[in-house]
Amino acid sequence: MARILVTGGAGYIGSHCSRMLLERGDDVVVLDDLSTGHAESVACELVVGDIRDEVVVRKTLARGFDGVIHFAAKALVGESVSSPALYADVNVRGTELLARCAAGTGVRAFVFSSSCSIYGTPKTTPVDEDAPKAPESPYGESKWAAEQVLAGADVPSACLRYFNAAGAHPDGSLGESHDPETHLIPLALDAVMGRRPPLKLFGRDYPTPDGTCVRDYIHVQDLARAHLRALDMLLGGHPGGAWNLGTGRGTSVLELIHAVERVTGRAVPYEDAPRRTGDPAAVWARVDRAEHDLGWRAQHTAIDAVVEDAWRWAQARRF
């Protein structure tokens, strides 16, 4: 049994990971300011606080942890364009402060939520970890800067570069609940349920087989499992590194809409809209490094199965 501090554990991905740690018997404490997370999704001790508050961070870490899994962040690309300083403050300075305070307290592993946004518009797909880093938003820049901070920190770190997190806990008790919501699957499901206006399809003239953008949708449970692998590896003495977490396969927006229609049995109301600036045509991950080093590969690779879990959550969600 390990003692793990999970920052952002009240959020979408952090709550699934915390649940998995608890299920295998780890002792988990969540530190979260509840700015976008939900106390209802936390099944262990919750310290409500900001990762930028050194007093809270030091006091919490002084209780003794083997590892930190750091999900807490601002994570909206559009908001990062209008508030770049906030993104630098939370995502870069917050990460630096947390890693600095963790070093020397007995923390032997630091797992960090990075993002494929650090690659910007990749020249080739699938994208591997050595591809040029060319973030196209302050959000992507903050994730890349945080990775560099961790590379120089006094605690071994694993930077996990997620592609598009998707799905929900298969038992329907946890899932995605953002406001505003910017992710395609919950938006499509809400449109189906009449909770939102028709889905906007941003561009149909991309150089992809059906003209719509292609992304790599990775199930949140697969992400959670990868965190446990990375954590265990670091606790076992691995020096750390950076790994892509994706399925290695791309799904277009139209393919996703069709999957939502198959799963829900209803038509997705959608309308065409112009391309958004900075949206790459196609991005999916090369995942060989995670397979080789972490012994991990995505299990939920069928897009219909991912949508089924998200649909179960969308119909029954409590928060």
Ligand X SMILES: NC(=O)c1ccc[n+]([C@@H]2O[C@H](COP(=O)([O-])OP(=O)(O)OC[C@H]3O[C@@H](n4cnc5c(N)ncnc54)[C@H](O)[C@@H]3O)[C@@H](O)[C@H]2O)c1
- The reply to whether 216 sits near ligand X by the rule CB under 6 A is no
Q: Are strands 157-162 and 240-245 parallel, antiparallel or unpaired?
A: parallel
- The reply to whether 11 sits near ligand X by the rule CB under 6 A is yes
Give me the sign of the Cα torsion angle 272, 274, 276, 281.
Answer: positive
* CB nearer ligand X, residue 11 or residue 280: 11
- The reply to whether 113 sits near ligand X by the rule CB under 6 A is yes
Applying the rule CB under 6 A, the residues between 137 and 176 that interact with ligand X are 162, 164-165
* CB nearer ligand X, residue 10 or residue 188: 10
> Could you say which of 12, 139, 162, 270 is catalytic?
139
Applying the rule CB under 6 A, the residues between 242 and 271 that interact with ligand X are none
For residue 139, give the amino acid letter: Y
* CB nearer ligand X, residue 7 or residue 252: 7
Q: How far is the CB of 47 from ligand X (least distance, A)?
A: 9
For residue 132, give the amino acid letter: P
Known catalytic residue at 162: no
Q: How far is the CB of 73 from ligand X (least distance, A)?
A: 3
First to last CA, the chain: 30
For ligand X (CB under 6 A), the number of binding residues is 29
311/224 Cα distance (integer angstroms) = 19
Beta-bridge partner residues of 272: 201
Angle between helix axes 138-151 and 94-102 (nearest 10 degrees) is 20
Question: DSSP assignment, residue 127?
Answer: B
For residue 292, give the amino acid letter: H
Q: Which candidate, 20, 17, 307, places its Cα nearest to that of 167?
A: 307
Q: Which of 4, 5, 6, 10 binds ligand X (CB under 6 A)?
A: 10
Q: Which of 60, 80, 95, 115 binds ligand X (CB under 6 A)?
A: 115
Give me the sign of the Cα torsion angle 83, 85, 86, 91.
Answer: positive
- The reply to whether 32 sits near ligand X by the rule CB under 6 A is yes
Asked if residues 68 and 111 have their Cβ atoms less than 8 Å apart, the reply is yes
In a 10 Å sphere around its CB, with 0-12 CB exposed, 13-18 middle and 19+ buried, how is residue 85 labelled? exposed
Q: Which of 27, 50, 79, 181 binds ligand X (CB under 6 A)?
A: 50
Applying the rule CB under 6 A, the residues between 52 and 111 that interact with ligand X are 52, 71-75, 90, 94
Q: How far is the CB of 237 from ligand X (least distance, A)?
A: 26
Please identify every residue annotated as catalytic.
Answer: 139
Contact residues: ligand X, CB under 6 A: 7-8, 10-14, 32-37, 50-52, 71-75, 90, 94, 113, 115, 162, 164-165, 178
